[in-house]
Homo-oligomer: A and B are copies of this chain.
Amino acid sequence: MRTALHADFERIFHPRRVAIIGVSAEGMGFGSGMFLSLRSMGFSGELIPVNPKGGTFAGHTIYKSVEDLPGDIDFAIIAVAAHAVPQALEACRKKGAVGAEILSSGFGELGTPEGKALEEEIRAVAGRGIRVVGPNCFGIYCPASGLTFLPGPDLSRLSGDIGFCAQSGGMSVDLAQMGMWMGLRFSKMISFGNGVDLRDTQFLEYFELDDQTQVIAMYVEGVQSGNGFFSTLKRVAARKPVIVLKGGLSRAGARAVMSHTASLGGDRAIWESVLRQSRAVQVHDLTELAQTALAFSLLPRRNYRGVTVIGGGGALGVAACDAAEASGMDLPHFTAQRYERILANLPKPGSSAGNPIDVANPFVHPSSLHEVLLAAGEDERVSLQLMVPLLYHYKSLALQLGAASVKEITPYHELARVAREAWDSTDKPVIVVLPNPKQGLDSMDIEEMLREARQAFLACGIPVFEDVRGAFQAVAHVSRYACGHP
């Protein structure tokens, strides 16, 4: 069932005509920066700069007022001094804008009566029929239309199935940027700052009905209406996974929340209990949020219990076992027959075909690893396989062979292909961790190779996690969701 709010949101995320209030002919304020960022993102709609001083900017005439500009607008980006915001918003409403994002700061977050009064004025305008994102925010990033966050144009135009909203602009931008290399693809991201009108609850309602969004993630500092938020969260989380990072659960954190977005943080025990009851997926930092979203986005939603670990080095295998058990998974012991079949594909001596599988040598050929993945994946107790190739070792091989670069001799494309093939033929996901203990200035080539390797795996739909513990933690979130246990 589509609601009126949903229709409004569609027009907000895909506006055809956008006024940018506060684009100066001189200097580089937020408005001018936003104008250039949208152009650089290739935003498909029309951009109309506005500033009382007039002039031109980047070849466009600057209108002196919203009233002056010809025809109606769909959306407005407001970046003027705080005291001028309510009037600008009202003008946009009269021009037919269905929504506006207010980038300006200087409102409730100051803790002053003036700041709060200005927020009340904004709320009053919003009540007359224009939806507001902000103030004190970085706005909307929508890869499909090309709307982007405040600070910059360098975000991806590739859409995906992850919807995200947060009070924090910094965290929103960090996640958008992490998404580009981690393989997170977003449907829409919203930084709503002080959230005087649209907040978590409304974005949850939108994501619930948005077919493009299949995984919802949010960073929450505080909510205004606890009951409304939690009843919505409970309803939405029953339909789509909702990953929640609640910041400010500590005493000092709650105080920091106050000065950041003027929200009431709330008690740790209450939050944790309510999140559990809502079947939301609670995570504890941005990295865990990102990795969990990646797992939900790329893995079938199943109960993963038995796993294999294929890596080099005994200690790595031991650590992987400990991490798996900590996340409620186990490494089934192979039968003698399967053990022999796996061992036949490994170098001797030094390798171990038990589970974890120690390949002993970092240069085992991808075709051998393919056989190992198939043999291990056919064990009916195995539901997922984690491969930990120690690709950084190829640097010393490159030096020995006199290769021009470590990239050219590291078979990450082949590894990605065999991982994908093994996943498809066994129907058991293969996930990857790419460790890098060499992070000195003389190992920039390893870093570059590993970044390319990550993209090669992602291009085959294979998620790459930061470390073994984080990988199993993210998989466990998917498992618990699939089983109905939050």
Tell me if A301 is interfacial: C-beta within 8 Å of chain B. no
Q: Are A322 and B439 in contact (CB under 8 A)?
A: no
Asked if residues A314 and B261 are in contact (CB atoms below 8 Å), the reply is yes
- A326 to B177 Cα, complex, angstroms: 27
Determine the chain B residues whose CB is within 8 A of the CB of A441 once the complex forms.
Answer: 181, 448, 451-452, 455
Q: Tell me if A221 counts as interface (CB < 8 A to partner B).
A: yes
Of B106, B248, B396, which is within 8 A of A321 by CB?
B248
Residues in B whose Cβ lies below 8 Å from that of A331: 252, 256
Beta-carbon nearest neighbor of A324 in chain B: B252
Among A341-366, those with CB < 8 Å from B are 349-350, 352, 354-356, 358
A322 B444 Cβ-Cβ under 8 A? no
Q: Which residues of the partner chain B approach A105 to less than 8 Å between Cβ atoms?
A: 349-350
Which of chain B's residues have a CB closer than 8 A to the CB of A110? 349
Q: Which residue of B lies closest to A180 (CB)?
A: B440
Q: CA A352 – CA B251 in complex, angstroms?
A: 18
Binds B, one of A14-22, A59-67, A167-175, A208-216: A167-175
Residue pair B253, A285 in contact (C-beta under 8 Å): no
Are A322 and B354 touching (Cβ within 8 A)?
no
Task: Type the 1/0 row for A99-111, where 1 means its CB is closer than 8 Å to any CB of B.
Answer: 0000001100010
Contact B439 A451 (CB under 8 A): yes
Chief secondary structure at chain A's binding surface: helix
Are B285 and A469 touching (Cβ within 8 A)?
yes
| A146-166, CB < 8 A from B | 151-152, 166
- Please, how many angstroms separate the alpha-carbon atoms of A256 and B110 in the complex? 56
Instruction: Determine which of B261, B316, B321, B440 lies in contact with A250 in the assembled complex, contact meaning CB atoms within 8 Å.
Output: B321
Residues on B with beta carbons closer than 8 Å to the beta carbon of A252: 321, 324-325, 330-331, 355-356
With a CB–CB cut-off of 8 A, which chain B residues contact A320? 256
Assembly CA distance A255 to B174 (angstroms): 40
Flag if A260 contacts B317 (CB, 8 Å): yes
| Contact across chains for B221 and A318 when beta carbons are under 8 A apart | yes
Chain B residues, CB < 8 A from A120: none
Contact B444 A440 (CB under 8 A): no
Contact yes or no, B255 A322, CB < 8 A? no
Q: Whole-angstrom distance from the CB of A185 to the nearest CB of chain B? A: 14
Interface of chain A residues 417 through 467 with chain B (CB within 8 A): 435, 437-441, 444, 447-448, 451-452, 455, 467
What is the chain B residue whose CB lies nearest that of A390?
B170
Query: Is A6 on the interface with B (CB-CB < 8 A)?
Result: no
* B396–A253 touching, CB < 8 Å: no
Nearest CB of B to A315, in Å = 3
Min CB distance, A83 to chain B, in Å? Answer: 12
In the complex, A361 Cα to B196 Cα: how many Å?
Answer: 24
Q: Is A295 an interface residue (CB 8 A)?
A: no
CA A110 – CA B314 in complex, angstroms?
Answer: 13
Give A361 Cβ to nearest chain B Cβ, in Å: 11
Roughly how many angstroms separate A441 CA and B467 CA in the complex, as a whole number?
20
Closest partner residue, chain B, to A360 (CB atom): B105
Q: Given A151-B396, A260-B358, 14 more contacts at CB 8 Å?
A: A170-B313, A181-B439, A248-B321, A249-B322, A251-B325, A252-B324, A253-B322, A255-B321, A257-B318, A260-B315, A285-B319, A287-B467, A440-B451, A441-B448
Residues of A near any B CB (own CB < 8 A): 105-106, 110, 151-152, 166-171, 173-175, 177-178, 180-181, 219, 221, 247-253, 255-257, 259-261, 285-287, 312-322, 324-326, 330-331, 333, 349-350, 352, 354-356, 358, 396, 435, 437-441, 444, 447-448, 451-452, 455, 467, 469
- Provide a sorted-by-A list of 27 A–B residue pairs whose CB atoms are within 8 angstroms: A152-B396, A168-B318, A173-B437, A174-B437, A177-B440, A178-B437, A178-B439, A181-B439, A181-B440, A221-B318, A247-B322, A251-B325, A251-B330, A253-B325, A255-B321, A255-B333, A256-B320, A256-B321, A256-B356, A259-B314, A260-B315, A260-B318, A260-B358, A285-B319, A285-B469, A286-B319, A444-B451
